[in-house]
Amino acid sequence: MSEEVKSVKAPKVMSDLRQDIVKMPKAIWDCSGIMIYGRLIRAVIFTTDVAIIANTNADAVLAVYPFTPSPAIAKSIMSVATIPVFAGVGGGLTTGYRSANMSLFSESEGAMAVVTNGPTNVETIEQMNAMIDVPIIYTVVSEHSDIASRLEAGVDILNVSGGSRTVDMVKQIRKAFPDVPIMATGGPTEETIRAVIAAGANAVTYTPPSNGELFKHKMEKYRHQEDNTQ
């Protein structure tokens, strides 16, 4: 490929009414990404807010929440999402066949992958793996997690969410499992995102501002416009 072709930038197309989308931090695009069914996934937005999900440039959405997984919630998210959905299916309080059935429902509604919580036991993962064809993502929340047994049971991707320990955990996991796809929490800044990528993360999850925070900025903009018209 010639240098002239390489230098051409992708043209941008936006509508008049959809200018204020939630954009992922620029540092995220430096990661390698994870290729799932031929689609490259690098930036994963962590939210269940359907308004944000419908207005973002993320590659996929991590739709997990601190309640019992609900088919109605999963269906609602996937009905508005224009990007692939990684659907939460429990694994903590919700285990066994309920998690497996939730996984099958999520797959039937169009989820690209399903996501299990840290406490998910091997038996539950095996049941899920026997019922579904989409990738299983296991959330690693501690350095003491038995990752090997979960991978053997059918986990395809690791989602590292260790708070302030995330970077060190990614380093340890990458050393122990050089070829396993890793998603990881990127933190709040460009610097923290770069650190987790340097540690070995293939894709990065990002928590966007809340709907309320975004609306606050919008209201301030409107007030400023009103003041200028007086």
Amino acid at 33: G
Q: Are 43 and 206 in contact (CB under 8 A)?
A: yes
pTM to 2 decimals?
0.89
**44-74 b/e (C-beta count within 10 Å ≥ 16 → b):** bbbbbbbebbbbbebbbbbbbeeeebeeebb
pLDDT in the model for residue 226: 58
72-81, 92-101, 107-116, 144-153: which has the minimum mean pLDDT? 92-101
Chain segment 185-213, per-residue pLDDT in tens? 998 899 999 999 999 999 999 999 887 77
Q: Topology of domain 21-229, per CATH?
A: TIM Barrel (3.20.20)
Give the start-to-end residue ranges of the domains of the chain: 21-229
